[in-house]
Structure 1
Amino acid sequence: MPRSIATLLFLSVLAGATPVLAQPGGTPMQLPRTISVPGSGSVTGTPDKAQVRLTVQKTNPSMEKARAEAVVVVQRFLALTKKLGIPEAKVRTTSAMVNPEYRWDQPTSRQVLVGYSVQREFEVEVNDLDKLGALVEGAVDAGVNHVAPPVLDSTKRRELNRQALAAAARDAEANARAIADTLGVKLGSLRELTAGGAEPPRPPMPMAMMKATMAEAADAGGAATYTPGSLTFDATVNASFDIVSP
């Protein structure tokens, strides 16, 4: 839009006048007077499920021995999930790899095979967060090499996202009314609205907190417990409202 037209539109809103542009042939064309504003909203929810990623890795000069050692740990871990009452459908293997391990031999200037690394990766969905501590602590006791920080989520995510969108829409209307009142004009109907919402953040549990909690639990002779905190669901909208002629 040419700068002169943009200036005309801006001044017309301030003055309460309807901007008029000339169409080809000289016919006047009235442009709608509008107020365009953003809106934002957020709601919080309590997480009620978690995703946990775990890795089992064993290295041995013999591929068969490395595989056998990994299988022992995997079997212990699967027995743990069964003991905790986690359904088999919630435990899945995401990766299974066997990689040769080499070292560089300086005298011969070549790589020398020294063994094999067998790796298994799992993902577990925990729908009872009271079991999360026992799962993490038990996995380490079973020989699992790495437990990633749990990723928390909510089964009510869609509902909470909608609540955040509703809050954003109300915020946009309040912003538009504030502008209209300041300019001394009357706010009309909604002309256009676009909504955008990001996925809710999934704050992982810091490893330092996990280790400290596990240490406290070990001193107390019990399983680790975790405080999941809360999730924040954010949403934004952009709205355009008509200005009603006096």
Structure 2
Amino acid sequence: MKAGSQRQLASLTPLSLIVAGSIMVISVLLDYGVFLLWPQFLERQWQLQVVSNTVDRGVVPLVGIVFILVGFWAAEQVPTPLVQGITRLPLPMTAFIVASILSLVFLLFVPFHLRNSFVDRSENLKSIQTQAEQLTTQAAQTLETQVEQERARITALLKNEQQLNQAISSGQLSVDQATLLQQFRDNPASLDEYLTQQADTERKNAEETIATQKADAEKRAKEATVKTGIRTALNSLILAVGYAVVGWTGLRNSRNG
């Protein structure tokens, strides 16, 4: 490679790093600003969403800041007018300040997001419990209506001998059903016992189905808290440490320098 090409590449490298890093930082900060254009500070779901989105993109500004600092270090090694002019800009100090601010923000996100996640889980579990109780009540009411309809149908058949015989002869009733009806006619009390037994079986099946659905919903709510709440909080803590190392160390060294 010719000397001129080497000098051109040496001049372009720090400039490219600084430009790329600046774009990464500015673009994400603009995104953070967009999150706050239509704030709903009192809405917990909005708070959870904003923190999650902010943390998900939190590593991009950190990489951008590192690019800027590496670019300035590389610029100091290149004695060209353009690159030396770049080094006069206060970008490193600005990067250290931005990193320190973001470190504090991500650190505050940890308890804030954990609290919101567990409160949200608690509310979801209460909602699941309420829905299960409503479904149980609805199932009981529906079952009661069905029992009364079945009682009325059987009673009507028992009172109408011709209709009963016609239902048996036409195959609408099986042999077992016909035997039951004969039992009900001979012993009217057995009808109540039969309907009670059938209702208990249906009620038990409905309660088991509702309990299974409730358990599944509660499991999903708890898993969501771990995945979205604890994971986001841990990532936020890691980002806070990373920004602190870059920002606070840089500011301390600048003061000492």
Q: TM-score, normalised by structure 1?
A: 0.26
Structure ranking higher in helix proportion: 2
Larger Rg: 2
Structure ranking higher in strand proportion: 1
Q: TM-score, normalised by structure 2?
A: 0.25
